[in-house]
Amino acid sequence: MKKCRLSIVGAGYVGLSTAIGYASKGFHVIALELDAQKAEMINKAIPILYEPWLQKSLQEAVKKNLLKCTLNLEETILNSDITFIAVGTPSKPDGSIDLEQIKKTACDIGAILKKKKTYHLVVVKSTVIPGTTENVVKPILEECSNKRCGTDFGLCMNPEFLRQGAAIHDTLNPDRIVIGENDPKSGNTLEALFADFYGEKLPPIVRTNLATAELIKYASNAFLAAKISFINTIGSICEKTPSVDVKKIAEAMGLDKRIGPAFLNAGLGYGGSCFPKDIKALIAYSHSVGYSPKLLEIIEKVNNDQASKIVETCKGFLGNLNSKRIALLGLAFKPETDDMREARSVLIINQLLAEDAKVVVYDPIAVPNAKTIFKKTIEYAESSAECLKGADCCILVTEWDEFKKLEPENFTAIMKQAILIDGRRIYDPEEFSSKMKFAAIGLGQKPLESHLDLVLIDPLHKNEIINII
């Protein structure tokens, strides 16, 4: 069977990972990127963003002539059968999303579809609020092409669930595929592509209407964010409960198949270009349709409070932070990326600077991005040792592997005051708290005297409390 020819508008991390994923299975893919420098880099197989395996997979795709990047949309559309739209939908100040790039892309594609003689399927991959594909993209495509959607060309919404840092892996191994379709032919065309692409590894496919597909994406991200804020709430309770550790609680909860272990890692909370933006957009959308989404608002608040909480813990150890040297290990919003969008490090650094602390930071790859944000207001170290040297307190912000290998002596030998606050729960509390001042998200303080107190309520005399020591 002849393979579909694909095109992708937007070579950001979703577009590029998708393009490379398809090319890796022998599909011809043309990517449109309006930034000439980026397009040239892609064509020379130079990665334009940090993603493990990107360089190798990109080199293979370019070498085999399966991936080409162009500035010319006409070439892109006329030489492909299916076009994915993967342009950005940035946040506006009120939390809603900006659809300008989507609208322009739809109009430009429509104008070229006008000239095209054969059927073409347009697939929205960008994250957009319910109703966007039906009420914004479709009318623009029809108007600019002077053709009818459903008969002359097809339209689907296919949300993306890939994670930064694992984008190629997730493209090749999704848990499920969601196809929102304007009409059965559009859905069948896209399903046939997925059947060809995944072969025997075809995951479950959910076919639905356009708006449901759009909301599935937001609901999925909001649910994952809810799990994080939930476990962080339990973590805050643990911090006030002697000898109780949220890690044990998450481990036990995760063994319940109805709950599952994923996204129950307590810590500084979520950042990145997706969860914060998507929660805000879903909140704004809910309000726009007359519903006040209290749960979503509290997920966001709990998440933002985690950064303030860690600065308070720092103050708890040091008192006044004025002129105190605070070392941050990790800047990226998670490991395996240099992305600092909505990173918790940014909130923490801003709060520390507001307290007149001296901030020194180290991250294996995100320092250049940090420099564009903080310029000369903070110090940049080239290793964890340089970062920790002479510091009054260290906050572990991102759980990079190289930080997991640090021993208590790596801190105690060079810090001015050996104080460590573990914001991602990577260090063993027993070991570290025996050698230095140590606190961690979700870790209850030890009772002053170490003995086992069992407090029971006598079932016969419910008000009486029996203490068994």
Q: Which residues participate in catalysis according to the annotation?
A: 274
Instruction: Tell me if 426 contacts ligand UGA by CB under 6 A.
Output: no
Look at residue 157 and give its three-state secondary structure: strand
Q: List the interface residues with ligand UGA, window 143-162 (CB under 6 A).
A: 160-162
Q: Are 164 and 337 in contact (CB under 8 A)?
A: yes
Q: Which residue type occupies 179? A: I
Structure tokens at 324: 């105190």
Q: Which of 6, 85, 216, 274 binds ligand UGA (CB under 6 A)?
A: 274
Which residues, in sequence order, are CB contacts of 179 under 8 Å at separation 6+? Answer: 156, 157, 158, 187, 190, 191, 194, 205, 206, 207, 208, 213
Instruction: Tell me if 400 contacts ligand UGA by CB under 6 A.
Output: no
d(CA 95, CA 115): 38
Q: Which of 84, 333, 380, 427 binds ligand UGA (CB under 6 A)?
A: 333
The CA-based angle 53-222-100, given to 5 degrees, is 75
Instruction: Tell me if 332 contacts ligand UGA by CB under 6 A.
Output: no
The minimum distance between CB 274 and ligand UGA, in angstroms, equals 3
Instruction: Tell me if 247 contacts ligand UGA by CB under 6 A.
Output: no
Q: Are 320 and 422 in contact (CB under 8 A)?
A: no
Of 118, 303, 116, the closest CA to residue 224 belongs to 303
The minimum distance between CB 398 and ligand UGA, in angstroms, equals 8
Instruction: Tell me if 265 contacts ligand UGA by CB under 6 A.
Output: yes
How does DSSP classify residue 274?
Answer: S
Q: Are 305 and 285 in contact (CB under 8 A)?
A: no
Interface with ligand UGA by CB under 6 A: which range of 131-139, 272-280, 323-331, 351-359? 272-280
Q: Are 149 and 178 in contact (CB under 8 A)?
A: no
Q: Which of 50, 84, 275, 432 binds ligand UGA (CB under 6 A)?
A: 275
Look at residue 189 and give its three-state secondary structure: helix
Q: Which of 24, 83, 221, 236 binds ligand UGA (CB under 6 A)?
A: 221
Q: List the interface residues with ligand UGA, window 2-41 (CB under 6 A).
A: none
Instruction: Tell me if 89 contacts ligand UGA by CB under 6 A.
Output: no
The minimum distance between CB 127 and ligand UGA, in angstroms, equals 6
Instruction: Tell me if 53 contacts ligand UGA by CB under 6 A.
Output: no
What pairs with residue 85 in β-bridges? Answer: 9, 124
How does DSSP classify residue 255?
Answer: T
Interface with ligand UGA by CB under 6 A: which range of 54-62, 93-101, 271-279, 409-417? 271-279
Instruction: Tell me if 76 contacts ligand UGA by CB under 6 A.
Output: no
The minimum distance between CB 184 and ligand UGA, in angstroms, equals 27
Instruction: Tell me if 163 contacts ligand UGA by CB under 6 A.
Output: yes
Q: Which is nearer to ligand UGA, 270 or 432 (CB)?
A: 270
CA distances (Å), 159 to each of 14, 208, 455, in order? Answer: 10, 12, 51
Residues that bind ligand UGA (CB under 6 A): 127, 160-164, 221, 224, 228, 263-265, 267, 269-272, 274-275, 278, 333-334
